[in-house]
């Protein structure tokens, strides 16, 4: 069994979701949002995000983490702040020795919904379908669970390819 932490970074709200993957079967474990206080300095807000994610990692003990890559906004200041929040989110699992994989927003949506430009409502609906009984703590948590599902799907594909490779004596016939 592999436990995966999905992260949807944001400066105001960073979504997180934890799933277990066992033999290509996914099970919801937990999800939520880490928020930062808007009245604090940027540095203090980044500490809040980092600390909140570190607490989640300590509580749920994921084996792997996956994070959504930053997309470029029309507003360069917003893009820069999102990048800084993403840096704090990348650092939390990495500092604890957890491998982190990054996925583009389109790759996440395509994996979960089947279309790279799916609406947030479609993503949330598919997450609920793929993780039955899951009570999603809002759109940011749904996006984080989608990142975890994307990672689980890609991890399953990598495992199959490795098994094939090993069974065929290292040659890709």
Q: Is 8 tagged catalytic?
A: yes
Residue among 20, 68, 124, 143 flagged as catalytic: 68
Q: Is 63 tagged catalytic?
A: no
Residue with the two structure tokens 């997309």: 71
CB 127 within 8 A of CB 149: yes
Write the CB contacts of 66 (distance below 8 Å, at least 6 apart in sequence).
4, 5, 6, 7, 100, 101, 102, 103, 147, 148, 150, 151
Quote the tokens at residue 90.
Answer: 């990348």
CB 99 within 8 A of CB 65: yes
Question: From residue 114, how far is each of 1, 33, 77, 142, 143 by CA, in Å?
Answer: 26, 25, 32, 16, 15
Q: Report the binding-site residues.
A: 8, 68, 140
Residue among 8, 64, 124, 143 flagged as catalytic: 8
The residue count for the chain: 173
Nearest in space to 34 (alpha carbons), one of 137, 124, 121: 137
Q: Report the binding-site residues for Mg(2+).
A: 8, 68, 140
Residue among 20, 64, 124, 140 flagged as catalytic: 140
List active site positions.
8, 68, 140
């Amino acid at each position: 069994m592999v436990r995966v932490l999905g992260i949807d970074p944001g400066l105001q709200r960073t979504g997180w979701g934890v799933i277990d993957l066992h033999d290509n079967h996914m099970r919801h474990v937990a999800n939520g949002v880490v928020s930062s206080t808007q009245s604090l300095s940027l540095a203090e807000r980044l500490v809040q995000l980092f600390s909140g994610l570190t607490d989640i990692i300590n509580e749920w003990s994921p084996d792997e983490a996956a994070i959504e890559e930053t997309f470029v906004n029309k507003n360069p200041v917003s893009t820069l702040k999102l990048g800084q929040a993403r840096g704090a989110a990348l650092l939390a699992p990495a500092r604890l020795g957890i491998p982190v994989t990054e996925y583009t927003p389109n790759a996440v949506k395509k994996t979960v919904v089947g279309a790279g430009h799916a609406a947030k409502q479609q993503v949330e609906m598919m997450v609920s379908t793929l993780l039955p009984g899951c009570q999603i703590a809002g759109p940011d948590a749904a996006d984080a669970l989608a990142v975890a599902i994307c990672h689980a799907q890609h991890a399953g594909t990598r495992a199959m390819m490795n098994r094939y490779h090993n069974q065929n004596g290292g040659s890709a016939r």
